[in-house]
Amino acid sequence: MVRAIVGANWGDEGKGKITDMLAAESDIVIRFQGGSNAGHTIINDYGKFALHLLPSGVFYNHTTSIIGNGVALNIPYLINELKSLEEKNVPAPKILVSDRAQILMPYHMLFDAYEEERLAGRSFGSTKSGIAPFYSDKYAKIGFQVSELFDEETLKEKIKNVCVQKNVILEHLYHKPALDPDELFATMMEYKEMISPYVCDTSLYLYNAIKEGKNILLEGQLGSLKDPDHGIYPMVTSSSTLAAYGAIGAGIPPYEIKSITTVVKAYSSAVGAGAFVSEIFGDEAQELRVRGGDAGEFGATTGRPRRMGWFDAVATRYGCRIQGATEVALTVLDVLGYLDEIPICVGYEIDGEVTKDFPTTVKLSKAKPVYKVMPGWKCEIRGIKNYDDLPENCKAYIDEIEKEIGVPITLVSNGPRRDEIIRRK
Q: Which is nearer to ligand GDP, 34 or 359 (CB)?
A: 34
Smallest gap from Cβ 402 to ligand GDP, in A, equals 17
Residue 331 binds to ligand GDP (criterion: CB under 6 A): yes
Measure the CA–CA gap between 386 and 206, rounded to whole angstroms: 37
Measure the CA–CA gap between 414 and 77, rounded to whole angstroms: 32
Smallest gap from Cβ 11 to ligand GDP, in A, equals 5
Q: Which is nearer to ligand GDP, 55 or 347 (CB)?
A: 55
Residue 133 binds to ligand GDP (criterion: CB under 6 A): no
Measure the CA–CA gap between 325 and 18, rounded to whole angstroms: 15
Q: Which is nearer to ligand GDP, 103 or 409 (CB)?
A: 409
Instruction: Pick from 26, 36, 37, 41 the residue near ligand GDP by CB under 6 A.
Output: 41
Smallest gap from Cβ 218 to ligand GDP, in A, equals 14
Residue 179 DSSP class: P
Residue 226 DSSP class: G
Measure the CA–CA gap between 125 and 271, rounded to whole angstroms: 8
At 330, phi and psi to the nearest 5? -95, 120
Q: Which is nearer to ligand GDP, 60 or 111 (CB)?
A: 60
Q: Where are the beta strands (DSSP E) in 16-114?
A: 28-31, 40-44, 47-51, 64-67, 72-73, 94-98, 102-103
Helices (H), 256-305: 282-292
Burial class (CB in 10 A: 0-12, 13-18, 19+), 204: exposed
Contacts 24+ apart (CB under 8 A), 299-304: 299/12, 299/39, 299/271, 300/12, 300/38, 300/39, 300/40, 300/41, 300/50, 300/52, 301/36, 301/37, 301/38, 301/39, 301/50, 301/52, 301/127, 301/129, 302/127, 302/271, 304/125, 304/271, 304/272
Q: Which is nearer to ligand GDP, 18 or 110 (CB)?
A: 18
Closest by CA position to 314, among listed 287, 354, 274, 259: 354
Smallest gap from Cβ 319 to ligand GDP, in A, equals 13
Instruction: Pick from 2, 6, 12, 63 the residue near ligand GDP by CB under 6 A.
Output: 12
Q: Which stretch binds ligand GDP (CB under 6 A): 37-45, 116-124, 167-175, 354-362?
A: 37-45
Size of the site for ligand GDP (CB under 6 A): 25
Q: Which is nearer to ligand GDP, 57 or 416 (CB)?
A: 416
Burial track 120-140 (b if 16+ CB lie within 10 A, e otherwise): eeeebebbbbbbbbbbebbee
| Secondary structure (3-state) at 349 | strand
Residue 415 binds to ligand GDP (criterion: CB under 6 A): yes
Catalytic residue flag (residue 201): no
Residue 334 binds to ligand GDP (criterion: CB under 6 A): yes
Q: Lay out the site mask for ligand GDP across 374-413 (x = CB under 6 A, - = otherwise).
A: ---------------------------------------x
Measure the CA–CA gap between 261 and 324, rounded to whole angstroms: 9
Scan residues 267-296 and list those touching ligand GDP (CB under 6 A).
Answer: 294-296
Q: Which stretch binds ligand GDP (CB under 6 A): 15-23, 105-113, 119-127, 177-185?
A: 15-23
CA atoms within 13 A on the CB side of 418: 16
Residue 52 binds to ligand GDP (criterion: CB under 6 A): no
Number of H helices, E strands in the chain: 12, 21
User: Which secondary structure element, helix H or strand E, spans residue 347, and what is its range?
Assistant: strand 341-350
Residue 319 binds to ligand GDP (criterion: CB under 6 A): no
Instruction: Pick from 315, 335, 398, 409 the residue near ligand GDP by CB under 6 A.
Output: 335
Query: Catalytic pick from 20, 40, 137, 334?
Result: 40
Closest by CA position to 197, among listed 320, 82, 44: 82
Residue 13 binds to ligand GDP (criterion: CB under 6 A): yes
Instruction: Pick from 90, 325, 414, 422 the residue near ligand GDP by CB under 6 A.
Output: 414
Instruction: Pick from 90, 300, 325, 394 the residue near ligand GDP by CB under 6 A.
Output: 300
Catalytic residue flag (residue 389): no
Smallest gap from Cβ 61 to ligand GDP, in A, equals 22
Q: Which is nearer to ligand GDP, 166 or 306 (CB)?
A: 306
Binding site for ligand GDP (CB under 6 A): 7, 11-17, 38-41, 43, 294-296, 300, 331-332, 334-335, 413-416
